[in-house]
Amino acid sequence: MTLKHTIKTRRFLNENHDSCTICGNEFKESETTHLGYLENGELAYLGDCCSSKLKETIIRHSFSKRPYTIADKDTILWRFMDFTKFISLISSNSLFFTRADKFEDPFEGAKGLKKNKNKWDKHYLEFIEQAHKNPPEGIDFKLTDKQIKIESKRVLAEMESGGIEDIKKTFINCWHENEFESEAMWKLYTNNMSEGIAIQTTYDRLYRSLNKNPSIDIGRVNYIDFNNSFAGVNDSFWYKRKSFEHEKEVRAIYFDFKKEYDFGKPIKVNINTLIQKIYVSPTAQNWFLEVVKETIGKYNLKKKIYQSNMKAEPFH
Ligand SMILES: [Zn+2]
Protein backbone atom coordinates (compact mmCIF):
# COMPACT_ATOMS: atom_id res chain seq x y z
CA MET A 1 0.00 0.00 0.00
CA THR A 2 1.30 3.43 -0.86
CA LEU A 3 0.63 6.05 1.77
CA LYS A 4 -0.90 9.28 0.55
CA HIS A 5 1.06 12.49 0.54
CA THR A 6 -1.78 14.72 1.74
CA ILE A 7 -1.97 18.41 2.53
CA LYS A 8 -1.20 17.53 6.15
CA THR A 9 1.95 15.59 5.34
CA ARG A 10 3.08 18.20 2.81
CA ARG A 11 2.58 20.92 5.40
CA PHE A 12 4.66 18.94 7.88
CA LEU A 13 7.42 18.51 5.34
CA ASN A 14 7.31 22.20 4.55
CA GLU A 15 7.56 23.25 8.18
CA ASN A 16 10.45 20.88 8.84
CA HIS A 17 12.27 21.35 5.59
CA ASP A 18 15.84 21.71 6.75
CA SER A 19 16.59 19.22 9.49
CA CYS A 20 15.85 15.80 10.91
CA THR A 21 12.84 15.98 13.24
CA ILE A 22 14.33 13.40 15.60
CA CYS A 23 17.95 14.36 16.07
CA GLY A 24 17.95 17.87 14.63
CA ASN A 25 20.79 17.17 12.17
CA GLU A 26 20.77 19.69 9.34
CA PHE A 27 20.36 17.99 5.98
CA LYS A 28 23.17 18.25 3.45
CA GLU A 29 22.67 18.98 -0.24
CA SER A 30 21.36 15.90 -2.12
CA GLU A 31 21.18 13.80 1.05
CA THR A 32 18.24 11.38 1.01
CA THR A 33 15.43 12.48 3.31
CA HIS A 34 12.49 10.36 4.43
CA LEU A 35 8.97 11.44 5.34
CA GLY A 36 6.77 8.94 7.11
CA TYR A 37 5.18 7.64 10.29
CA LEU A 38 6.90 6.43 13.42
CA GLU A 39 5.78 3.46 15.46
CA ASN A 40 3.61 5.73 17.65
CA GLY A 41 1.77 7.09 14.60
CA GLU A 42 3.48 10.49 14.62
CA LEU A 43 4.81 12.08 11.46
CA ALA A 44 8.56 12.43 11.09
CA TYR A 45 10.91 13.85 8.47
CA LEU A 46 14.28 12.21 8.80
CA GLY A 47 17.72 11.91 7.32
CA ASP A 48 19.53 8.61 6.87
CA CYS A 49 20.66 9.26 10.48
CA CYS A 50 17.26 8.25 11.87
CA SER A 51 15.32 6.77 8.95
CA SER A 52 15.43 3.28 10.46
CA LYS A 53 12.94 4.54 13.07
CA LEU A 54 10.22 4.98 10.44
CA LYS A 55 7.51 2.36 10.46
CA GLU A 56 6.00 3.53 7.16
CA THR A 57 7.50 5.78 4.53
CA ILE A 58 5.41 8.23 2.53
CA ILE A 59 8.04 9.76 0.32
CA ARG A 60 11.79 10.14 -0.07
CA HIS A 61 13.52 13.23 -1.38
CA SER A 62 16.95 14.25 -2.42
CA PHE A 63 17.44 17.28 -0.17
CA SER A 64 18.02 20.65 -1.69
CA LYS A 65 18.25 23.91 0.15
CA ARG A 66 15.51 26.46 -0.30
CA PRO A 67 16.40 29.36 -2.58
CA TYR A 68 15.14 31.79 0.06
CA THR A 69 15.49 32.34 3.78
CA ILE A 70 12.59 32.29 6.17
CA ALA A 71 12.06 35.13 8.62
CA ASP A 72 11.38 34.64 12.34
CA LYS A 73 7.72 34.16 13.22
CA ASP A 74 7.29 37.62 14.70
CA THR A 75 9.06 39.50 11.91
CA ILE A 76 6.92 42.50 11.02
CA LEU A 77 5.72 42.83 7.44
CA TRP A 78 3.95 45.75 5.79
CA ARG A 79 1.82 46.21 2.77
CA PHE A 80 1.09 49.75 1.64
CA MET A 81 -1.89 50.36 -0.60
CA ASP A 82 -4.58 52.72 -1.79
CA PHE A 83 -7.95 52.69 -0.08
CA THR A 84 -9.60 50.95 -3.04
CA LYS A 85 -7.14 48.05 -2.83
CA PHE A 86 -7.79 47.84 0.89
CA ILE A 87 -11.56 47.59 0.28
CA SER A 88 -10.93 44.90 -2.29
CA LEU A 89 -8.83 42.95 0.21
CA ILE A 90 -11.37 43.02 3.03
CA SER A 91 -14.47 42.59 0.89
CA SER A 92 -13.15 39.66 -1.10
CA ASN A 93 -11.23 38.06 1.77
CA SER A 94 -8.50 37.40 -0.75
CA LEU A 95 -4.94 38.38 -1.27
CA PHE A 96 -4.22 39.16 -4.88
CA PHE A 97 -1.24 37.26 -6.26
CA THR A 98 0.01 39.08 -9.35
CA ARG A 99 1.16 37.11 -12.37
CA ALA A 100 4.95 37.50 -12.48
CA ASP A 101 5.06 39.01 -15.96
CA LYS A 102 2.63 41.76 -14.89
CA PHE A 103 5.11 43.44 -12.55
CA GLU A 104 6.97 46.49 -13.76
CA ASP A 105 10.32 44.85 -13.14
CA PRO A 106 11.26 43.02 -16.38
CA PHE A 107 13.69 40.92 -14.34
CA GLU A 108 10.92 38.96 -12.60
CA GLY A 109 11.86 35.33 -13.17
CA ALA A 110 15.00 36.31 -15.07
CA LYS A 111 18.04 34.05 -14.94
CA GLY A 112 20.54 36.75 -15.71
CA LEU A 113 21.61 39.54 -18.03
CA LYS A 114 21.18 38.98 -21.73
CA LYS A 115 24.81 39.92 -22.35
CA ASN A 116 25.83 36.95 -20.16
CA LYS A 117 23.47 34.46 -21.76
CA ASN A 118 26.21 32.74 -23.77
CA LYS A 119 28.01 31.88 -20.51
CA TRP A 120 24.82 30.40 -19.07
CA ASP A 121 24.11 28.42 -22.25
CA LYS A 122 27.66 27.07 -22.41
CA HIS A 123 27.57 25.98 -18.77
CA TYR A 124 24.26 24.13 -19.10
CA LEU A 125 25.08 22.65 -22.47
CA GLU A 126 28.19 21.09 -20.98
CA PHE A 127 26.22 19.99 -17.94
CA ILE A 128 23.52 18.31 -20.04
CA GLU A 129 26.11 16.68 -22.32
CA GLN A 130 27.93 15.27 -19.30
CA ALA A 131 24.67 13.92 -17.93
CA HIS A 132 24.06 12.10 -21.20
CA LYS A 133 27.60 10.72 -21.30
CA ASN A 134 27.42 9.51 -17.70
CA PRO A 135 23.84 8.28 -17.25
CA PRO A 136 22.76 6.84 -13.91
CA GLU A 137 23.53 3.17 -13.40
CA GLY A 138 21.23 0.84 -15.28
CA ILE A 139 20.31 3.41 -17.95
CA ASP A 140 21.94 3.17 -21.35
CA PHE A 141 21.30 6.03 -23.78
CA LYS A 142 23.29 4.51 -26.68
CA LEU A 143 23.76 7.89 -28.36
CA THR A 144 26.67 8.91 -30.55
CA ASP A 145 28.60 12.07 -29.64
CA LYS A 146 26.85 13.89 -32.45
CA GLN A 147 23.43 12.77 -31.26
CA ILE A 148 24.30 13.83 -27.73
CA LYS A 149 25.17 17.32 -28.99
CA ILE A 150 21.87 17.63 -30.83
CA GLU A 151 19.89 16.25 -27.91
CA SER A 152 21.62 18.59 -25.45
CA LYS A 153 20.77 21.60 -27.57
CA ARG A 154 17.16 20.49 -27.65
CA VAL A 155 17.06 20.13 -23.86
CA LEU A 156 18.62 23.56 -23.40
CA ALA A 157 16.07 25.14 -25.76
CA GLU A 158 13.31 23.41 -23.82
CA MET A 159 14.71 24.78 -20.58
CA GLU A 160 14.63 28.26 -22.05
CA SER A 161 11.05 28.11 -23.33
CA GLY A 162 10.01 26.53 -20.02
CA GLY A 163 11.55 29.48 -18.20
CA ILE A 164 9.56 31.92 -20.30
CA GLU A 165 6.35 29.92 -19.77
CA ASP A 166 6.90 29.78 -15.99
CA ILE A 167 6.58 33.55 -15.73
CA LYS A 168 2.92 33.25 -16.71
CA LYS A 169 2.33 30.48 -14.21
CA THR A 170 3.93 32.14 -11.23
CA PHE A 171 1.87 34.34 -8.91
CA ILE A 172 3.41 36.64 -6.36
CA ASN A 173 2.20 38.65 -3.38
CA CYS A 174 4.75 41.11 -1.97
CA TRP A 175 5.43 42.46 1.51
CA HIS A 176 7.96 44.85 3.00
CA GLU A 177 9.97 43.68 5.99
CA ASN A 178 10.56 46.47 8.46
CA GLU A 179 10.29 46.97 12.17
CA PHE A 180 9.09 50.51 11.49
CA GLU A 181 7.00 52.31 8.93
CA SER A 182 8.75 53.46 5.85
CA GLU A 183 8.07 56.84 4.31
CA ALA A 184 9.52 55.64 1.01
CA MET A 185 7.02 52.79 0.90
CA TRP A 186 4.07 55.11 1.52
CA LYS A 187 5.18 57.12 -1.48
CA LEU A 188 6.06 54.16 -3.63
CA TYR A 189 2.96 52.05 -3.15
CA THR A 190 0.15 54.54 -2.88
CA ASN A 191 -1.08 56.60 -5.80
CA ASN A 192 -2.64 59.12 -3.51
CA MET A 193 -0.63 59.07 -0.33
CA SER A 194 -3.13 61.06 1.75
CA GLU A 195 -5.62 58.25 1.19
CA GLY A 196 -3.15 55.45 1.73
CA ILE A 197 -3.46 52.50 4.07
CA ALA A 198 -0.83 50.19 5.43
CA ILE A 199 -1.55 46.86 6.96
CA GLN A 200 0.88 45.33 9.33
CA THR A 201 1.20 41.61 9.76
CA THR A 202 3.88 39.16 10.81
CA TYR A 203 5.56 36.35 8.97
CA ASP A 204 3.60 33.80 10.99
CA ARG A 205 0.26 35.60 10.59
CA LEU A 206 0.73 35.68 6.83
CA TYR A 207 1.46 31.96 6.77
CA ARG A 208 -1.49 31.09 9.01
CA SER A 209 -3.88 33.42 7.20
CA LEU A 210 -3.17 31.55 3.97
CA ASN A 211 -4.29 28.39 5.75
CA LYS A 212 -0.68 27.14 6.01
CA ASN A 213 -0.99 26.20 2.38
CA PRO A 214 2.04 24.03 1.58
CA SER A 215 1.85 25.09 -2.07
CA ILE A 216 2.63 28.68 -1.16
CA ASP A 217 6.24 29.52 -0.42
CA ILE A 218 6.91 32.53 1.77
CA GLY A 219 10.43 33.87 2.02
CA ARG A 220 12.86 36.70 1.64
CA VAL A 221 13.96 37.93 -1.77
CA ASN A 222 17.72 37.80 -2.45
CA TYR A 223 19.27 40.85 -4.05
CA ILE A 224 22.17 40.10 -6.37
CA ASP A 225 24.39 41.81 -8.88
CA PHE A 226 23.35 40.22 -12.16
CA ASN A 227 26.56 41.50 -13.76
CA ASN A 228 28.46 38.66 -12.19
CA SER A 229 25.85 36.18 -11.06
CA PHE A 230 22.86 34.22 -12.25
CA ALA A 231 19.67 33.17 -10.52
CA GLY A 232 19.30 29.37 -10.36
CA VAL A 233 17.30 27.38 -12.89
CA ASN A 234 14.27 26.96 -10.62
CA ASP A 235 14.96 29.78 -8.20
CA SER A 236 14.74 32.86 -10.35
CA PHE A 237 11.64 34.28 -8.66
CA TRP A 238 13.63 34.61 -5.46
CA TYR A 239 16.27 36.90 -7.01
CA LYS A 240 16.10 40.56 -7.83
CA ARG A 241 18.61 43.20 -8.78
CA LYS A 242 20.55 45.02 -6.08
CA SER A 243 18.80 48.25 -7.03
CA PHE A 244 15.63 46.89 -5.39
CA GLU A 245 17.30 46.18 -2.07
CA HIS A 246 15.43 49.02 -0.31
CA GLU A 247 12.21 47.03 -0.81
CA LYS A 248 13.37 44.46 1.76
CA GLU A 249 10.84 42.18 0.21
CA VAL A 250 9.25 39.10 1.62
CA ARG A 251 7.08 37.42 -0.96
CA ALA A 252 4.57 34.65 -1.12
CA ILE A 253 4.77 32.62 -4.32
CA TYR A 254 2.26 30.24 -5.78
CA PHE A 255 2.84 28.25 -8.97
CA ASP A 256 -0.27 27.26 -10.89
CA PHE A 257 0.46 25.01 -13.82
CA LYS A 258 -3.13 23.96 -14.34
CA LYS A 259 -5.18 27.07 -14.86
CA GLU A 260 -4.53 30.31 -16.72
CA TYR A 261 -5.08 33.73 -15.19
CA ASP A 262 -4.88 36.98 -17.10
CA PHE A 263 -3.49 39.29 -14.50
CA GLY A 264 -3.26 37.36 -11.29
CA LYS A 265 -4.94 35.00 -8.93
CA PRO A 266 -6.91 35.94 -5.81
CA ILE A 267 -6.20 33.51 -2.98
CA LYS A 268 -8.52 33.21 0.01
CA VAL A 269 -7.11 34.59 3.20
CA ASN A 270 -8.32 34.91 6.77
CA ILE A 271 -8.36 38.71 7.11
CA ASN A 272 -8.62 38.71 10.89
CA THR A 273 -5.55 36.53 11.20
CA LEU A 274 -3.68 38.43 8.53
CA ILE A 275 -4.13 41.96 9.82
CA GLN A 276 -2.35 42.83 13.02
CA LYS A 277 -2.71 46.61 12.73
CA ILE A 278 -4.09 49.09 10.24
CA TYR A 279 -2.34 52.40 9.65
CA VAL A 280 -3.52 55.43 7.74
CA SER A 281 -0.93 57.54 5.98
CA PRO A 282 0.95 60.37 7.70
CA THR A 283 -0.72 62.90 5.40
CA ALA A 284 -4.25 61.58 5.95
CA GLN A 285 -6.89 64.01 7.23
CA ASN A 286 -9.18 63.13 10.11
CA TRP A 287 -12.17 62.55 7.83
CA PHE A 288 -10.22 59.78 6.10
CA LEU A 289 -9.50 58.08 9.39
CA GLU A 290 -13.25 58.15 10.13
CA VAL A 291 -14.07 56.65 6.73
CA VAL A 292 -11.65 53.80 7.32
CA LYS A 293 -13.10 53.16 10.79
CA GLU A 294 -16.62 53.04 9.43
CA THR A 295 -15.61 50.78 6.56
CA ILE A 296 -13.92 48.14 8.64
CA GLY A 297 -16.91 48.19 11.00
CA LYS A 298 -19.14 47.27 8.07
CA TYR A 299 -16.96 44.25 7.41
CA ASN A 300 -16.94 43.28 11.09
CA LEU A 301 -13.24 43.70 11.26
CA LYS A 302 -12.33 44.51 14.84
CA LYS A 303 -8.97 46.17 14.43
CA LYS A 304 -7.59 49.34 15.87
CA ILE A 305 -6.63 51.95 13.34
CA TYR A 306 -3.45 53.88 13.90
CA GLN A 307 -2.51 57.21 12.53
CA SER A 308 0.93 56.92 11.02
CA ASN A 309 3.68 57.27 13.63
CA MET A 310 5.35 59.70 11.31
CA LYS A 311 2.61 62.19 12.00
CA ALA A 312 3.83 62.71 15.56
CA GLU A 313 4.70 66.34 16.25
CA PRO A 314 8.24 67.39 16.97
CA PHE A 315 9.38 70.11 19.37
CA HIS A 316 12.36 72.31 18.75
ZN1 LIG B 1 18.36 12.23 12.55
Q: Tell how far the Cα of 59 is from the centroid of ligand 1, in angstroms.
A: 16
Compute, in angstroms, the gap from residue 45 CA to the centroid of ligand 1: 9
Instruction: Give the count of beta carbons closer than 10 Å to the beta carbon of residue 142.
Output: 6
Mind listing the pLDDT tens digit for each residue in 120-138? 999 999 999 998 888 877 7
Q: How far apart are alpha carbons 218 and 211 in whole angstroms?
A: 13
- Residue 190 predicted with pLDDT over 80: yes
User: Could you read off the pLDDT of 35-49 as tens digits, one per residue?
Assistant: 999 999 999 999 999
Question: What number is the average pLDDT over the span 202-222?
Answer: 97
What local confidence, expressed as pLDDT, does residue 1 receive? 54
Q: Ligand 1 centroid to 19 CA: how many Å?
A: 8
Compute, in angstroms, the gap from residue 175 CA to the centroid of ligand 1. 35
Give the global pTM: 0.92
> 252 CA distance to ligand 1 centroid (A)?
30
CA of 64 relative to ligand 1 center, distance in Å: 17
End-to-end CA distance of the chain: 76
**Interval 82-91: pLDDT, tens:** 999 999 999 9
- 2: pLDDT confidence band, cut at 50, 70 and 90? low
**Cα of 60 from ligand 1 centre, angstroms:** 14
CA of 47 from ligand 1 middle (Å) equals 5
- For residue 70, report the distance from its CA to the centre of ligand 1, in Å: 22
Q: Rounded to the nearest whole angstrom, what is the distance from the C-alpha of residue 5 to the centroid of ligand 1?
A: 21
Task: Please report, for the chain, the start and end positions of each structural domain, with discontinuous segments joined by +.
Answer: 7-62, 76-108+170-311, 114-166
Of 313, 312, 245, the C-alpha closest to 279 is 312
Buried b (16+ CB within 10 A) or exposed e, 30-64: ebebbbbbbeeeebbbbbeebbeebeeebbeeebe
- Cα(34) to centroid of ligand 1, in Å? 10
**Would you state the pLDDT for residue 213?**
97
* 262 C-beta neighbours (distance < 10 Å), count: 8
| 8 Å CB contact between 68 and 220 | yes
Q: Is the pLDDT of residue 140 over 70?
A: yes
Round to whole Å and give the CA distance between 57 and 9. Answer: 11
Q: Please say if the pLDDT value at position 178 is more than 80.
A: yes
Query: How do residues 215-271 score in pLDDT, each as one tens digit?
Result: 999 999 999 999 999 998 889 999 999 999 999 999 999 999 888 899 999 999 999
Q: How far, in Å, is the centroid of ligand 1 from the Cα of 26?
A: 8
Q: What pLDDT digit, counting tens, does each position of 44-71 carry? A: 999 999 999 999 999 999 999 999 999 9
Q: How many CB atoms lie within 10 A of CB 281?
A: 27
User: What's the 53 CA to ligand 1 centre distance in angstroms?
Assistant: 9
